[in-house]
Amino acid sequence: MKIGFIGLGIMGRPMALHLKEAGHELFVPERASLTEEIRAAATVLPNPSAVAGAAEVIILMVPDTPDVEAVLFGAKGVAEGLQPGKLVIDMSSISPTATRDFARRINERGCDYLDAPVSGGEVGARQATLTIMVGGPQAAFDRALPLFERMGKNITLVGESNGAGQTCKVANQIVVALTIEAVGEALVFASKAGADPAKVRQALMGGLATSRILELHGERMIKRTFDPGFRIVLHQKDLNLALQSAKELGVALPNTASAQQLFSACVAAGGGGLDHSAMVQALETLASHKVGV
């Protein structure tokens, strides 16, 4: 297929390259930040509108709801270059409510729309093992599935209504944030009590408390390796979406709100660019004790 890919950051770059390696033709908009690897792999066009005009499928992987709206409907945006029959896939993590509106506006141009946010971080993007949560029509999903299979492993059509994928991603981010917080609390507690946090983690990995968060982020907390796989500011944004959606639904999410406050404390201390496992630093401040130190 002819694929337009917009958003070539930590996640988007390897995702786009997997599609190129699978034999698809790649089109990207001009940006000063484009790497030489991307320039060699893709046809670089002036703007998102030109990318949409050249491609059959246009994929977005940008940070937040306003970014998606600007790429789709801003000056020289994707919508200006669309012709009926094309498929727009937003793999960003954004508002479910806004997603439904964006899909309606793209559908009015005779094009299909899928919201397909991902989980798995930079490692999952590089290894093509992302979890992909999709909302939209079955026929559009079937058309996109060969592309999803080049970027991920666990691929689910959550619902045939747009916004279902984004709702699932918000739920995912709630679980991940609260599990990071639980692992952080446990390791701070154990370390301050005099136990070896590495040994505690090893023991917990064999019981009911085991999880990928304990395995991966527990190790990050102990080794103090907070280079971003998924930055705190992005997870903070996702929990904002959760709390905003919960308000619209009349649902209380008390522990999500607590996790958001811990992320906010990290951002206030200058840690917004760190990996989300660095939430433990806020807990360490409250305990006046660092894990593993």
| Amino acid identity for residue 184 in this structure | G
Catalytic residue (choose from 20, 76, 86, 169): 169
Residue 88 contacts residue 58 (beta carbons within 8 Å)? yes
Cα 87 to chain centroid, rounded: 20
| Residues in a beta bridge with 29 | 45
Using DSSP's 3-state secondary structure scheme, residue 238 falls into helix
**169 flagged as catalytic:** yes
CB 84 within 8 A of CB 113: no
Which residues on adjacent β-strands are paired with residue 252?
Answer: none
What are the residues facing 88 on neighbouring strands?
A: 58, 113
Tokens, residue 60: 């977005």
Bridging pattern class, strands 118-119 and 130-135: antiparallel
Task: Enumerate the active-site residues.
Answer: 169
